[in-house]
Amino acid sequence: MPVIYVYHQIHLVNTLINIGLVEDHRLLRKSIKSMLESNSCFHVSMEADNGKEFIELLSPATQPEIILLDIQMPVMNGFETAAYLKEHYPAIKVIALSLFKNETSLLNMLNLGAVAYITKNEEPEAFINTIMEVHNNGYSIKKDENMSNKVN
């Protein structure tokens, strides 16, 4: 089983980081938005329940720098959305969100252009640090020797 490496660091940001949030569970989406916007570095500029809704809202003028993309959603899932973004909006940095640490899902999302993978049970600080690292470096990779093969 391959080992994934991630290095978390907090970096100072001089500009507001625009984030798109695609998550079908409203309570979780609103909680993540509130957590992010309590930090002066972030602004959630777009929210959607699924990939189809997000793509309908998206345009070159509205595209966020980073998108937090749930993998398992109705209508249009994270894999389909990431594939569309890779082809039509390659500058958007995709961070995959998942309930489980699943090696197959992780590798599929990386192949579809995701630059990081965050589980929904991460500590808030790790969540923020991953976003900051993606903003500063273009990707975030972490060591995780406990990958499971649970299905998302």
Consecutive 10-residue averages of pLDDT for the chain (152 residues): 39 74 94 92 94 93 92 93 95 91 83 91 89 88 53 39
Q: Using the 8-state DSSP alphabet, how is residue 117 labeled?
A: E
The DSSP bridge pattern shows strands 66-70 and 114-119 to be: unpaired
Domain over 17-137 is classified CATH 3.40.50.2300: yes
In this prediction the pTM is 0.82
Say which amino acid occupies 16: L
DSSP 39: S
Residues in the chain: 152
| In the chain, domain spans | 17-137
Terminal Cα-to-Cα distance of the chain (whole angstroms)? 19
Cβ count near 130 (within 10 Å): 24
